[in-house]
Amino acid sequence: MSTKGSNDQNTVNTVIVDDDLQSRKLLGILLKKFPQIKVVGEASNIKSALDIIKQTKPDSVFLDIRLGANSGFELVDKITCEAKVIFVSAYDDYALRAFEVNALDYIKKPIEKERLAKAITRLLATKNGIANNSLDKNWEDSPSQVLAEKFSSTLLKQNEKSLHDQQQIEDDEVEDFDELEISDDEEKNEYNNGDSKKKLDYDDRLFITTDGISKFIKISNIQCITAEKDYSYIYLLGGKKLLVLKPMVEWEERLTPKHFVRIHRSTIVNLECVEKVEKWFNASYRVYIQNIQDPFQMSRRYASKLKERFK
């Protein structure tokens, strides 16, 4: 079966290029929710990306801006097929340059499903000759408004239906969580409002989605949280480790400071799970968490803040 090109006007072959494996994995999970998109390859660097693009001749490329020591713009300059480029980045700084190289769209990480739906709709519309091939001049100033005006209403409705159907599947899966016997009204509210920004108490449960699976976790079961580019790893009692699409700043805002403290720009720990703290070089410290073999570093700046707090 050949993977070169895409003859079906309603199907778009795409390649994901990102130097982070988990980022590629999560984007792939999100793209599976759109039946029009077929991921025909993944790459972590420019060389492998060029090889895959040459082999598959995709209609589009979802491209991260920062590829280790290289830039996604370097890849754009070397692509010889007519693939539309959709940049995916955690940074706003490159939006204008993306416009200059005629990128089809620029999605900000963490990726929102509704925003991704708009980008895919535009991609399908472009393939069908409905939308302009390049971005409008005022795209970087008001992307939502410009995109809304350009999208084919039929295609947009199709993608909205896809999102609705996927949400219905997730809702059906969530019914299995009735066995958790959530009796507290506040916990039910947290379940029904997973995107709520309210402060989380230590005995709350948080509803998360990881690897396409929705589940509850108890806040008190979180041992520590570490940053992974635009995502974060949650270390749980019992040895489980989950990757979620949630930035560290949001964790810091929502977790109760009575139990959770930030010891590094990339690490938050549960004080109840700290086994010991030992001095390290340059006035920094190493923090050992129960049942986690490798210690986490506490920077001098955060150590100073922590000392001030517990005076």
Average of per-residue pLDDT values in the chain: 77
pLDDT at res. 224: 97
Q: How far apart are CA 42 and CA 24, in angstroms?
A: 7
pLDDT at res. 236: 95
- Which pLDDT tens digit goes with each residue over 175-212? 333 333 333 333 334 333 344 467 889 999 888 877 66
pLDDT at res. 219: 95
pLDDT at res. 273: 93
Vertex 221 angle, CA 216 and 222, to 5°: 95
Q: How far apart are CA 281 and CA 20, in angstroms?
A: 30
pLDDT at res. 272: 92
- Give yes or no for residue 261 having a pLDDT over 90: yes
Better pLDDT: 114 or 161? 114
- Give yes or no for residue 140 having a pLDDT over 60: no
Largest separation between any pair of C-alpha atoms in the chain: 68
Better pLDDT: 230 or 233? 233
What distances in angstroms separate CA 43 from CA 59, 66, 182, 233, one per listed residue? Answer: 16, 13, 43, 22
% of the chain with per-residue pLDDT over 70: 73
pLDDT at res. 280: 86
Q: What is the rounded average pLDDT of the residues 45-65?
A: 95
* 20-24, 83-87, 164-168, 206-210, range with the lowest pLDDT: 164-168
The residue type of 203 is: D
Q: What is the rounded average pLDDT of the residues 103-130?
A: 84
Better pLDDT: 64 or 311? 64
> For residue 132, with 0-12 CB atoms within 10 Å meaning exposed, 13-18 middle and 19 or more buried, which class applies?
exposed
Q: What is the rounded average pLDDT of the residues 239-243?
A: 90
- Which pLDDT tens digit goes with each residue over 16-54? 999 988 889 889 998 988 999 999 999 999 999 999 999
Q: In angstroms, how far is the first alpha carbon of the chain from the final one?
A: 68
- Domains of the chain, CATH where assigned: 12-168 (3.40.50.2300), 184-309 (2.40.50.1020)
With beta carbons less than 8 A apart as the criterion, state whether 70 and 46 touch: yes
Better pLDDT: 65 or 311? 65
- Give yes or no for residue 307 having a pLDDT over 60: yes
With beta carbons less than 8 A apart as the criterion, state whether 85 and 63 touch: yes
Give residue 83's pLDDT band: very low, low, confident or very high (50, 70, 90).
very high
Q: What is the rounded average pLDDT of the residues 237-258?
A: 90
Q: What is the rounded average pLDDT of the residues 149-175?
A: 44
pLDDT at res. 84: 94
Q: Among 262, 163, 173, 184, which Cα is nearest to 209's?
A: 173
pLDDT at res. 111: 85
- Which pLDDT tens digit goes with each residue over 270-302? 999 999 988 888 778 999 999 999 999 998 888
Q: Name the pTM for this structure.
A: 0.50
> β-pairing, 285-289 with 296-298?
antiparallel
